[in-house]
Amino acid sequence: MSDLNRVTVIGRLAKDAELKSTPSGHAVSKFTVAVNRYSKGESEASFFDVNLWGKQAESLSQYLTKGKAVGIDGELRQERWRQDGQNRSRVLIVASSVQLLGGRESKDDQGRAPHGNPNDKSERFW
């Protein structure tokens, strides 16, 4: 029997994604997503580190900019290490799918959205 490890979050990027390559040549895009929660009129943000691998990381990285709304589906992973004699750990989301959602978009020098005509209201899939 296999345990279930699935997470879905919708939030905004806290900063631009960083696209890197492993020594073996695999692409990984690393970014942080802020997810807001509202309770009793107060807003509280949680920040989650996300790793996106492979071709999707390469093709989406240029669009993963600060403030961009995204939907993420993936799984939780725990990293463990020792630092200065102390045991350390963190939980991050390893994304299997990232969906770009409406919201802020950066524009080029001519005021166009990076994916084409800003007046085109058709759906876009990446």
| pLDDT, mean of each 10-residue run, the chain (126 residues) | 92 96 94 92 93 94 94 96 94 96 56 44 39
Fold of the 7-37+44-100 domain: OB fold (Dihydrolipoamide Acetyltransferase, E2P) (2.40.50)
How far, in Å, CA of 107 to CA of 82, rounded?
A: 43
pLDDT the model gives residue 123: 41
pLDDT the model gives residue 117: 41
Instruction: Read off the pTM.
Output: 0.74
pLDDT the model gives residue 102: 81
pLDDT the model gives residue 111: 44
pLDDT the model gives residue 1: 78
Phi, psi of 39 (to 5 degrees): -150, 125
pLDDT the model gives residue 104: 52
How far, in Å, CA of 103 to CA of 89, rounded?
A: 33
Domains of the chain: which residue ranges?
7-37+44-100
